[in-house]
Amino acid sequence: MEGQKDCKLKFSELKENGTYYYFVFKLSADDKQIVVENVGKPTQSFEDFITTLPDRDCRYVVYDHVTSKDDSEKRAIVFLTWAPDGAKTKYKMIYTIYKDTLRRELDGFSVKL
């Protein structure tokens, strides 16, 4: 698929620098590219992140999950495929097909859901 250069750049910045809290990818209007739709800054909340996900369309999400306990910080970079019940079956299938392509391009996930 074309158009993944920006996706790889954003992922690299999240993974190496903690520049982002999350980012959301979607397919372009012609379904030929995966593009960055939304980027969350580290100051944003989980609720901010949730509100970016549409009720009737699919998305890919990379989420930087950080937990703190006893002065130590644990980090897990999570890859999610968002496919709500309200999404059209055609798009659920298309997103499923391209999911592995994107995951191969973005290496270094702790969890894939």
- Name residues whose C-beta falls within 8 Å of residue 72's C-beta, 6 or more positions apart in sequence: none
CATH class of 5-112: alpha beta
Q: pLDDT tens across 6-42, in order?
A: 777 777 777 777 777 888 989 888 888 888 898 888 8
Look at the alpha carbons of 30, 21, 103, 92 in this order and tell me if their dihedral is positive or negative.
negative
Statement: residue 1 has pLDDT above 50: no
State yes or no: pLDDT of 88 exceeds 80: yes
Average pLDDT on 39-51 reads 87
Q: Is 12 helix (H, G, I), strand (E, B) or coil?
A: helix
**φ/ψ (deg, to 5) at 86:** -75, -10
% of the chain surpassing 90 pLDDT: 20
pLDDT value, residue 89: 94
pLDDT at site 30: 87
Is residue 53 over pLDDT 90? yes
If DSSP codes are grouped into helix, strand and coil, which group holds residue 30?
Answer: coil
Domains in the chain: boundaries? 5-112
pLDDT attached to residue 2? 47
- Burial status of residue 33 (CB atoms within 10 A of its CB: 0-12, 13-18, 19 or more): middle
